[in-house]
Amino acid sequence: MNNLISFIEKNKEKHLEELFEFLRIPSISSVPDNALHVRECALWLLENIKNSGIEDCRIFETEGHPIVYGQWLGAGDSAPTVLIYGHYDVQPVDPIELWKTKPFEPSIRNGKIYARGSSDDKGQVFTHIKAIESHLSTFGRLPINIKLLIEGEEECGSNHLEDFIKDNKELLRCDTVLVSDTEWFAEGLPSICYSLRGISYIEVFVTGPNRDLHSGTFGGAVDNPIFVLANMIAKLKDEYGRIQIPGFYDDVLELTIEEREGFKKLPFSEKEYCDDLEVDGVNGEFGYTTLERTWARPSLDINGFNGGYIGEGAKTVLPSTASAKISMRLVPHQNYYDISEKITKYLMSIAPPTVKVKVNTLHGGNPVLVPRDSCGVKAAMLALESAFGTKPVFMREGGSIPIVSTFLSELESPTVLMGLGLPSDNIHSPNESFAIDNFYGGIKSSAIFFDEYSKICKTD
Amino acid sequence: MNNLISFIEKNKEKHLEELFEFLRIPSISSVPDNALHVRECALWLLENIKNSGIEDCRIFETEGHPIVYGQWLGAGDSAPTVLIYGHYDVQPVDPIELWKTKPFEPSIRNGKIYARGSSDDKGQVFTHIKAIESHLSTFGRLPINIKLLIEGEEECGSNHLEDFIKDNKELLRCDTVLVSDTEWFAEGLPSICYSLRGISYIEVFVTGPNRDLHSGTFGGAVDNPIFVLANMIAKLKDEYGRIQIPGFYDDVLELTIEEREGFKKLPFSEKEYCDDLEVDGVNGEFGYTTLERTWARPSLDINGFNGGYIGEGAKTVLPSTASAKISMRLVPHQNYYDISEKITKYLMSIAPPTVKVKVNTLHGGNPVLVPRDSCGVKAAMLALESAFGTKPVFMREGGSIPIVSTFLSELESPTVLMGLGLPSDNIHSPNESFAIDNFYGGIKSSAIFFDEYSKICKTD
């Protein structure tokens, strides 16, 4: 074990340099024009996995961005198998002008690696690859069988991974799925996440007149699509923050008293939360705390609104169209197909007859609740504690990793969410970062996890 | 008189070619980067005015775009003076993809000149310059004194013209202001407009958190600026189309019974109106007809809304900011300073404490009501009838020419709105056009107007 840790220590710089190479590739997956960069990133990753000692690796093409797969099965059938899932694609970078340093030119400031994807998810998934390399270089083997499944479409809905999993159940068969794509509750407080929110993401288009009109000539007699859409959006929630879509809360699993107690024990300061965001207060569903609202209650956000003239100066136009991107975060046991249908029906029902409304479902994923008592979770608790010197806490997360629910349903494998991010990482925002200590510590905790897992989790 | 008309007939092609040159210059005034083209247009116009026989002409610089001025005072002090106002700047062209031919490459299809500015206002103001040229070439003189005031900022608020007029009252002194920047009620139905709506144009900015946030991590606990702004916008009107800004209707002059009767007599078909716009119905302030709503009732439109991610695909962002451009059309005797103040106060009052709101006034202008019995109007009626062979009707217009109210207050001169546009001209929209017959006929009616005016309107 000491040899393993000292190998990791010795290779710190090399591992960081490799991560920087990984981060320099602008693998934004939601912009079709950027597909070549995403592929470039997949090929770089494949090469790195091979160089890390996993020769049995390859690219799986999809109708979208490629999937990177690798496996080391040298521990034999008697040993358990862990499937490590992550993604190499990243979020868009706009508003670009708010980045202190360029999003794809990684740089280090006060102990943090700044770059798009540093925390979500390149930095996190890369710790496992380096942990595997450390085992193989030190012992020539791993204590368990490992499978790597790293996709390039997580930030645009994992549109093709679900089918891939359904079509490759045998290839992907495993005892546990290990995912590092979540956050710690706080800096210095390792955390195991046991629930993720799902998502339903739609786009609504409102069309009024067949052309842009002069707001002087027509204003007052013709419905304005922006005004109409704003009105429809205003009808999505009431003044208590309750979402007004009929049947929206039907399948919501209420929090247990134990969970609410647990949340209250966590070191959370609403004042610090607001100060960090520079807002004068939080606001959300009446009757719930901030942690409950973001972890265990569904939410609805307008992610984008576009209509009329948004350039400099004034244009007196009554626009022909307006559109909005709307996403809802879902909690157990809501289903995203069901919710997407319900919001579509509702939007249609509240649209005035003077406009045409079209709703597109952009993507979705179901919420997840994972067992807290699996042997995988136990191994993760031990690994994090010995790597970071602090006992981990249990938490939920407001974000979504849609595919995790597919692992449960298709592979029937429990998932362990052993995240390494920090709340201050600014994922999906300008100046995304990843703490260097969590990168190095993450390589250790992953390496130790393999060891602990091999002891605790025997195959039956 | 016959010589005058035959000169105009003989020079049709030359005049059209000159108009095309005028239209080719992309004098969009609302985009700061475009200032050089606006100046290029002013210089071209100055040259054309000089070549038309008005040697006493010059550019007046402003802090914005230049003003083109010219005068011919050869009729002497005993003769009356008409000030012709117009503008050489044009609206932006987006959405550019909807133009059948390029906006600044004029082309003729089925009797119409297609180009940005063809109707609003280059084509209309140019008829007067060619009418002056026709008089001077035919008779070596004009029957009245003429002053030309052609600005380059009408489409962005005429920000510097008001001060210019106040500072140059003596230079601009006149008996009547003649403006051709309005529309006929219908093709083949020459119209004199006696009222214009004013405008108050503001932009509102809503800022929530200090950075874009992950909608999964924060969604449900932090107010979303787009949602907040949509809610504020929804509160601007009630379900009867009544604007909810306190005191908004205080100064509104109600329609007279005679006006409402007059409007009803005009050949207006709501079905054709809707069919043209491809909407299933009109909508507006309860209790008023479409003509009343657009001509004599104030209105409120959202001209642009911008917030969050509006690119392709999905981005799960809870944005930091959202903004909207909002304009209100005003009717006599509303005042735009007063209305801009009232909406600003109202928006501030309905904003939740969780966001910061900033309101900028982009521009404004007061509504206008001109006397229907002035000698200028009489001369215009005769000129239009003899040039187009049809007795003109009286109408109002929903659009704004803010500066007309300044002519009344500062120069104490009645304005004559002798427009030449058609409702089908698509001003402010893609594929703007100007009927060739109205261009040629407009040169005649302008030339005849000078003559009639000199007979009817004696200086006292």
Give catalytic status of residue B105 as yes or no: no
Chain A contacts in chain B segment 316-355 (CB below 8 A): 316-319, 322-325, 327, 329, 352-355
Strand pairing report for A145-151 and A81-87:
parallel
pTM for this model (two decimals) = 0.82
**Which residues 6+ apart lie within 8 Å of B285 measured at CB?**
A220, B240, B241, B242, B293, B297, B299
The per-residue pLDDT for B372 is: 85
Residue with tokens 């905790």: A445
pLDDT in 10s for each residue of chain B, 460 residues: 789 999 999 999 999 999 999 999 999 999 999 999 999 999 999 999 999 999 999 999 999 999 999 999 999 999 999 999 999 999 999 889 999 999 999 999 999 999 999 999 999 999 999 999 999 999 999 999 999 999 999 998 888 999 999 999 999 999 999 999 999 999 999 999 999 999 999 999 999 999 999 999 999 999 999 999 999 999 999 999 999 999 999 999 999 999 999 899 999 999 999 999 999 999 999 999 999 999 999 999 999 999 999 998 888 999 999 999 999 999 999 999 999 999 999 999 999 999 999 999 998 889 999 888 899 999 999 999 999 999 999 999 998 887 888 898 899 998 999 999 998 999 988 999 999 999 999 999 999 999 999 999 976 5
Contact A311 B98 (CB under 8 A): no
Give catalytic status of residue A63 as yes or no: no
Contact B305 A306 (CB under 8 A): yes
Measured between CA atoms, the residue of chain B closest to residue A288 is: B221
**Which residues 6+ apart lie within 8 Å of B256 measured at CB?**
none
Name the residue facing A227 among B32, B98, B233 (closest C-beta): B233
A159: pLDDT strictly greater than 90: no
d(CA A302, CA B224): 7
Length of chain B: 460
Contact B94 A32 (CB under 8 A): no
Yes or no: domain A198-252+298-365 corresponds to CATH 3.30.70.360: yes
Burial class (CB in 10 A: 0-12, 13-18, 19+), A321: buried
The per-residue pLDDT for A271 is: 97
The per-residue pLDDT for A247 is: 98
Chain B contacts in chain A segment 138-167 (CB below 8 A): 156-157
Q: ∠ CA(A151), CA(A7), CA(A177), 5° rounding?
A: 30
Q: Which CATH class is domain A2-196+367-459?
A: alpha beta
Name the residue facing B318 among A237, A301, A431 (closest C-beta): A301
List C-alpha distances in Å: B12 to A419, A457, B8, B200, B317: 78, 94, 6, 40, 58
Contact A215 B430 (CB under 8 A): no
pLDDT band for position A2 (cuts 50, 70, 90):
confident
Contact B92 A311 (CB under 8 A): yes
Whether residue B70 contacts residue B54, with contact meaning beta carbons closer than 8 Å, is answered with yes
Number of A/B CB contacts below 8 angstroms equals: 349
Chain B contacts in chain A segment 179-238 (CB below 8 A): 183, 197, 199, 201, 203, 208-224, 226-227, 229-231, 233-234, 236-237
Q: Would you list the domain boundaries of chain B?
A: 2-196+367-459, 198-252+298-365
d(CA B369, CA B131): 27
**Could you write out the DSSP letters of every residue in B230-298?**
HHHHHTTB-TTS-B-STTTTTTPPPPPHHHHHHHHHS---HHHHHHHHT-S----STT--HHHHHHTS-
Q: Each residue of A324-380: pLDDT tens digit?
A: 999 999 999 999 999 999 999 999 999 999 999 999 999 888 999 988 889 999 999
Listed ranges A95-99, A154-158, B100-104; the one with the highest mean pLDDT: B100-104
Q: Each residue of B12-40: pLDDT tens digit?
A: 999 999 999 999 999 999 999 999 999 99
Q: Each residue of A10-68: pLDDT tens digit?
A: 999 999 999 999 999 999 999 999 999 999 999 999 999 999 999 999 999 999 999 99
Catalytic pick among A120, A133, A154, A432: A154
Q: Which ipTM was obtained for this model? A: 0.82
A402: pLDDT strictly greater than 80: no
d(CA B205, CA B220): 22
A460: pLDDT strictly greater than 80: no
Q: Each residue of A257-297: pLDDT tens digit?
A: 989 998 999 999 999 999 999 999 999 999 999 999 999 99
Contact B308 A312 (CB under 8 A): no
pLDDT band for position A401 (cuts 50, 70, 90):
confident
